[in-house]
Amino acid sequence: MFHLSYSDKESLEREPRGESQQEVLRRAAKDLPIYTRTMSGAIRYCDRCHLVKPDRCHHCSVCDKCILKMDHHCPWVNNCVGFSNYKFFLLFLAYSLLYCLFIAATDLQYFIKFWTNGLPDTQAKFHIMFLFFAAAMFSVSLSSLFGYHCWLVSKNKSTLEVFRAPIFRHRTDKNGFSLGFSKNLRQVFGDEKKYWLLPVFSSLGDGCSFPTCLVNQDPEQASTPGGLNSTSKNENHLFPAKPLRDSQSHLLTDTLSWSETSGKAEKGKVGMSNPALTMENET
């Protein structure tokens, strides 16, 4: 649904940069659940994949494709970490950290004996020393990385969003996708706690649209000092209508399901864009 149609793609390539191309992108994105823009205020468009980028989606130059809710490209797993495998990446870090801690703990007594000459004088004692140092160093590095990603989950951020805050239609907000600790945690691990520690996909949503505390904000109304409309604070912290396990791609079958909580008035706002909008192709 986010790919440009053949006619729109031809129009975009035929028209010179300017208002004509803006109109093509506005027409293509008018019914899409997108709320973020580029730094210049343009609709986020990928000229390599020829699609309007969903919120939190970025193009990976290594994989040469757009990744939903991209966090980073990980050389250790030779793959991008994003919406479809972020929970598995966190569990991979947790499992690895526990394994290294277990090895370091069980090897500690023999490591102490190595320095007190309590071990037989064989080459095996050097293996014990190497094993302890390797497990200890990996434990330190994994604990730092795992702690950092736990913080990201608690704030509902990705690594890319930490370095560059998402830009919404009316302003930049580094916490625009944060819904509170409990809901942020459930977005990654799901509602059923029995699946949290298992390598089973249980994340909420479809990766194309995300609940945000800024979606229903009316720029015409007065805002609280924190920038949020106090009358709709509790209404904004909602999840998409259907999780992935219920509908693999509800945006392809029901373009209105993502906006059920917004009402009919919100539908007219989704396609609106800044009059001064300029197109910017991102890679």
Residues classed as catalytic? 74
Q: Is 212 left (phi over 0), alpha (psi -120 to 50) or beta?
A: beta
- Categorise residue 62: left if φ over 0, alpha if ψ from -120 to 50, beta otherwise: alpha
Residues 239/180, Cβ–Cβ less than 8 Å: no
Best CA proximity match to 88, nearest among 243, 210, 196, 209: 196
Burial 224-250 (b: 16+ CB within 10 A, else e): eeeebbeeeeeebebbbbbbbeebeeb
Structure tokens at 193: 């706690």
Q: Do 49 and 63 contact (CB within 8 A), yes or no?
A: no
User: Using CA atoms, how far apart are residues 132 and 128, in angstroms rounded to an integer?
Assistant: 6
CA dist 140 and 111 (Å) reads 18
What is the spatial distance between Cα 226 and Cα 173, in angstroms, rounded to a whole number? 11
Q: Contact, 244 vs 204, CB < 8 A?
A: yes
For 121-141, give the DSSP string: SSTHHHHHHHHHHHHHHHHHH
256, 258, 263, 265: CA torsion to nearest 10: -80
